[in-house]
Structure 1
Amino acid sequence: MESLFRGDTIVQSAHIAGICEHTSLVWRHKILSVCASLTAEDRILDGVVYLDEKLSDVKHPGITVEDKESKKKRGISNQKRNIVCAIDEHNNKVIQVSERGRIHTKNLYEIYKDKIPSQCTVVSDSLRSYHGLMKKLGVKWIKIPSGKKEKDGYTLDKVNRLHSSIELFLHGYRGISDKYLKNYIGL
């Protein structure tokens, strides 16, 4: 467990624990699964809430794909998994792995329906899926227009810093399989 929390590789963890690499991988995923279930609490956000999604490359270690599919696509595509993020003014966070490709209002609502009360003010970009979400949540919405960095003094800096932290954390584990991404997010 110490090796996992330090960010050691599977090979390093196996060497430290005196086990084979496969066992090290299996144990890592069991620990991560427990961590994900423990951190999946029902956190309710309050005050000003900042929303945005982060795209993560979908990886399937050990599986080869055809050449035409193997080219990395930029922007939104089925080769990317959404990690939806919300952070409020008190630094309470909701981070959850969601669908591939373009995120839909239905999925966003399922994630946020019990986490963002109607008295909150939500700040987000102008993603089309947020239009339906804000109607369903019944919140005051500050929509930062496309191409702009702020509106009425509100920015997405707080949630973008959260994205940077997530990216830095995930990078340390090098090549996380799509199957286990939610468990690493739980950690």
Structure 2
Amino acid sequence: MKAPRFKSWLATLPSLNVQQRRQVLDALHPVVGLDQVVALIDQIRTPGRCCPRCGGTHCYRHGFANDLQRFRCCACGRTFNDLSGTPLARLRLKCKWLDYSQVLLDSLSVRKAADRLGVHRNTAFRWRHRFLSWAKLDRPDALNGIVEADETFLLESQKGSRKLDRPARRRGGRAGKRGISRELDCILVARDRHGNTIDAVTGRGALTAAQLEHHLLPRLNRGALLVSDSNAAYRAFSRKHKIAHETVNLRAGVRVRHGVGCAFHVQNVNSYHQRFKAWLLGFRGVASRYLPNYLGWCWALDGRRISSPEQLLRIAIKVINR
């Protein structure tokens, strides 16, 4: 639209009634959302833009495609855009990405998210795990000071699978064996007194020292004090790697032991377990293969670490073309 025609159209806006103004806003909302997303992507990507194939930094503009600026690498000739190599590559409806980020912050179910955005439920489900693919990796580099560690268990689920390797259970069901068995997914959570948290799905069944070496040791400061329950896996892990270790005998009813100037307990971790399981109830069951994404999602929301749709979108696309 040329400038004189636009000015005349703009001058007629005050004469619109309420219903007409709402129609204008509804028509402009997707375009404004698209402009915000494209501007945010360009802002994040401009520093350090490189080719996803060869890593070259010399490129030139090569037209537009799917509302994004395309580039061609001077070294290898490959064309790419700012989402190439990211989990959000090839996703459509960019105008609704910020609204969907708000849906994740509100912890809505797939069907409620689809109804709010006006998309198919399969799209809402696919977007959920694309947006969380890298957000779950945004974790602290190390745990320091007094580090509490404990595990919790969820019933293994094959929700959404077309073929099951066991008889189907009605409405989630229950484990066929009492206690800890291979029918349960083990979730390890370690948390220091500053609130830094790491977690991992270690596998099925009881926790082992080898799993602690794989998931906990790389993020545990060697000068930290590890506090756990009386599980033998923690003792073997601490003894092997010479890590200071204190235990709390929960089975005997001892929840807190007082030391010199500090208290030994795992209440922070257990409280995190309760918050995670209570938050998970709103999704009516989660498939075991997606548990890492939900752990990262809960960690992002815990303590309001991520408080805006723009911040969540930044995390979802921050590692680009790497």
TM range (shorter): 0.7 to 0.9
Give the aligned residue type for 2:147. V
Q: Give SS of 1:95's match.
A: strand
Q: Give SS of 2:283's match.
A: coil
2:200 and 2:227 map into 1 onto residues whose CA distance is: 18
Q: Match for residue 35 of structure 1?
A: 135
Give the percent of matched residue pairs that are identical in Structure 1 and Structure 2: 26
Matched residues, number: 184
Is contact 1:80–1:101 with CA below 8 Å preserved after alignment? yes
Correspondence for 1:134 among 232, 238, 246: 238
Is contact 1:125–1:143 with CA below 8 Å preserved after alignment? yes
Q: Give SS of 1:75's match.
A: coil
2:266 and 2:118 map into 1 onto residues whose CA distance is: 46
* Structure 2 unaligned regions, length at least 5: 1-99, 298-322
Higher strand share: 1
Give the aligned residue type for 2:256. E
Q: Give SS of 1:114's match.
A: helix
Q: Match for residue 81 of structure 1?
A: 185
How do 1:1-150 residues align onto structure 2 when only pairs under 5 Å count?
A: 1=100, 2-37=102-137, 39=138, 41-62=139-160, 65-66=166-167, 71-72=174-175, 73-145=177-249, 146-147=251-252, 148-150=254-256
- Offset at 1:42? 5.0
TM-score by length of 1: 0.88
Change over 3 Å in CA distance of 1:74–1:170 after alignment to 2: farther
After TM superposition, where is structure 1 displaced by more than 3 Å over at least 4 residues in a row?
62-65
2:284 and 2:276 map into 1 onto residues whose CA distance is: 13
- Offset at 1:169? 2.1
1:82 and 1:100 map into 2 onto residues whose CA distance is: 6
1:173 and 1:4 map into 2 onto residues whose CA distance is: 12
1:18 and 1:74 map into 2 onto residues whose CA distance is: 44
2:268 and 2:140 map into 1 onto residues whose CA distance is: 21
- Offset at 1:71? 4.2
Give the aligned residue type for 1:3. V
2:241 and 2:111 map into 1 onto residues whose CA distance is: 46
Q: CA RMSD for the aligned pairs?
A: 2.0
* Structure 1 unaligned regions, length at least 5: none
Q: Match for residue 159 of structure 1?
A: 269
Is contact 1:109–1:136 with CA below 8 Å preserved after alignment? no
1:169 lines up with 2:279 in the alignment: yes
2:152 and 2:241 map into 1 onto residues whose CA distance is: 21
Is contact 2:226–2:244 with CA below 8 Å preserved after alignment? yes
Is contact 2:140–2:197 with CA below 8 Å preserved after alignment? no
Change over 3 Å in CA distance of 1:137–1:165 after alignment to 2: farther
TM-score by length of 2: 0.53
Q: Give SS of 1:184's match.
A: helix
